[in-house]
Amino acid sequence: MGKVYLIGAGPGDPELLTLKAARLLAQADIVLHDALVSREVLANISSRAEVIDVGKRYGKKLLTQEEINALLVTYAASRETVVRLKGGDPSIFGRAAEELEALRNAKVEFEVVPGVTAALAAAAASGISLTDRRVASQVLLTTFSRGPNASVMDWGCLTPATTLALYMPGLEYAEVAHRLADAGLPADLPCVIVSGASGAQQQVRWSSVGALASEEKLPAPALMIVGRVASQQIGEISDSFWRGEASGTALEQQKASVS
């Protein structure tokens, strides 16, 4: 029986693949990949490998998750190196848990190879730090739920020190803005939308919670970063932060420790 590798393909730029991921793609006997894996990354797959697209496009799945799980188990019985290639990182909104459970139950050997997740690529593209110690002490990775699952996310858990990385915000920015406002986030709170992070078609749009509804929609895949770090004028925001948190000599000492 062979071994299954769940590999993170990263956000799109093939140079962001880990060395281990690139080596395994060159050795693979068969690769099952998602739709978001870029053509540039797919070009690293061995020419002798069988390549199967199991991705989802426009809400339509080529295969169900159960069928993908079954394929991984089946191919592991006849192929030495089976690769399940996922966009970003397998453990971040990649349904890795379901596939790993199926492999465990079938007693198939597996290994997870991490990749660069979209939130990190989006932060790099916009030139910001997700955890600027002056204004943000935590990061929340989430997706935007619609329909019957809209209440799953507790937006009330957001604090002024939270950086929100919102995966798959969709094209209804007004709905996103409404939900954020309902959670108590101020209209002037900065946000940045990054489309196609790290790819040739990458776009970065600076905005705020209040202005989101009127923004031109960017193509998927996109990610939204919301919080005080999502500003090109972080100095102004940090000054306001320090005025609220310290005073007098303590303020000067903290400013000096940051600089």
DSSP string, the chain: --EEEEEE-BSS-GGGS-HHHHHHHHH-SEEEE-TTS-HHHHTTS-TTSEEEE--EETTEESS-HHHHHHHHHHHHTT-SEEEEEESB-TTTTS-HHHHHHHHHHTT-EEEEE----HHHHHHHHHT--TT-TTT-SEEEEEE---GGGTTSS-GGG--TTEEEEEE---S-HHHHHHHHHHTT--TT-EEEEEESTTSTT-EEEEEETTTGGGSPPPPSSEEEEESTTS-S-HHHHHHHHHHHH--HHHHHHHHHHH-
pLDDT of the residue at 151 = 55
Contact 115, 20 (CB under 8 A): no
Q: Residue 37 is which amino acid? A: V
Annotated catalytic residue 107? no
Annotated catalytic residue 217? no
Considering 13, 168, 217, 255, which one is annotated as catalytic? 168
Annotated catalytic residue 56? yes
pLDDT of the residue at 49 = 98
Percentage of the chain exceeding pLDDT 90: 74
Q: Which two tokens stand for residue 26?
A: 């060159």
pLDDT of the residue at 35 = 93
Considering 20, 56, 61, 182, which one is annotated as catalytic? 56
Q: Which residue has the tokens 């894996």?
A: 37
Contact 13, 32 (CB under 8 A): no
What the chain holds in terms of domains, given with CATH numbers, is: 3-116 (3.40.1010.10), 119-237 (3.30.950.10)
pLDDT of the residue at 249 = 38
Q: Which two tokens stand for residue 236?
A: 């102004």
Which parts of the chain register pLDDT below 70? 57-60, 146-155, 234-259
pLDDT of the residue at 108 = 98
pLDDT of the residue at 184 = 87
